[in-house]
Amino acid sequence: MSAPDPAARSLDVDAVMAQLTLEEKVSLASGADFWRTQAVERLGVPSVMVTDGPHGLRKQAGASDHVGLHDSVPATCFPPAAGLASTWDVDLLRRVGVALGDECRAEEVAVLLGPGVNMKRTPLCGRDFEYFSEDPLLAGELAAALVQGVQSRGVGTSLKHFAANNQETERMSVSVEVDERTLREIYLPAFERVVTRAQPWTVMCSYNRVNGVYASQDPWLLTRVLRADWGFEGLVVSDWGAVDERWRAVAAGLDLEMPSSGGTGEASIRTALEGGSLTQAQLDVVVRRNLELLQRVLPALAPGQTFDAGAHHALAREAARQSAVLLANDGVLPLEPASGGRLAVVGEMARSPRYQGAGSSQVSPTRLDDALTALREGTSRDVVFAPGYVTESEEADDALVAEAVEAARSAEVVVLFLGLPASYESEGYDREHLDLPASQVALLEAVRAVNDRVVVVLSNGAAVAVDAWQHHAAALLEGWLLGQAGGAATADLLYGVVSPSGRLAETVPVRLEDTPAFGAFPGDSGVVRYREGLLIGYRWYDTRRAPVSFPFGHGLSYTTFEHSDLSVRASGAGADASVEVALTVTNTGSRAGAEVVQVYAAPQDASVFRPEQELVGFARVELEPGASAPVSLVLSARDLGHWSEVHRRWVLESGRYEVRVGASSRDVRQRAVVEVQGEELVVPLSPQSEAGTWLEHPVVGPRLREQLGDAAAMLDDPQHGQMMRAIPLVRLTRFPGFPVREEDLPGMAEEAGASVGPA
Active site residue ranges: 239
- Which of 178, 111, 164 has its CA nearest to residue 136? 164
- Which of 397, 385, 372, 556 has its CA nearest to residue 459? 372
The angle, 0 to 180 degrees and rounded to 10, between the axes of the packed helices 136-151 and 90-106 is 40
Going by the DSSP 8-state scheme, the letter that residue 129 receives in this structure is G
First to last CA, the chain: 53
Encoded amino acid at 589, one letter: G
For residues 260 and 244, give the distance between their C-alpha atoms in angstroms, rounded to a whole number: 13
Q: Length of the chain, please?
A: 759
3-state DSSP assignment of residue 3: coil
Burial environment of residue 5 by CB neighbours within 10 A (0 to 12, 13 to 18, 19 or more): exposed
Tally Cβ neighbours within 10 Å of residue 102: 24
How far is the CA of 362 from the CAs of 69, 245, 354, 541, in angstroms? 7, 30, 12, 33
Given its phi and psi angles, is residue 267 left (phi above 0), alpha (psi -120 to 50 degrees) or beta? alpha
Contacts of 263 (CB under 8 A, 6+ apart): none
Identify whether the C-beta of residue 85 lies closer than 8 Å to the C-beta of residue 141: no
For residues 56 and 112, give the distance between their C-alpha atoms in angstroms, rounded to a whole number: 9
For residues 596 and 552, give the distance between their C-alpha atoms in angstroms, rounded to a whole number: 12
Return the beta strands (E) in 530-577 as ranges.
548-550, 561-571
Identify whether the C-beta of residue 337 lies closer than 8 Å to the C-beta of residue 380: yes
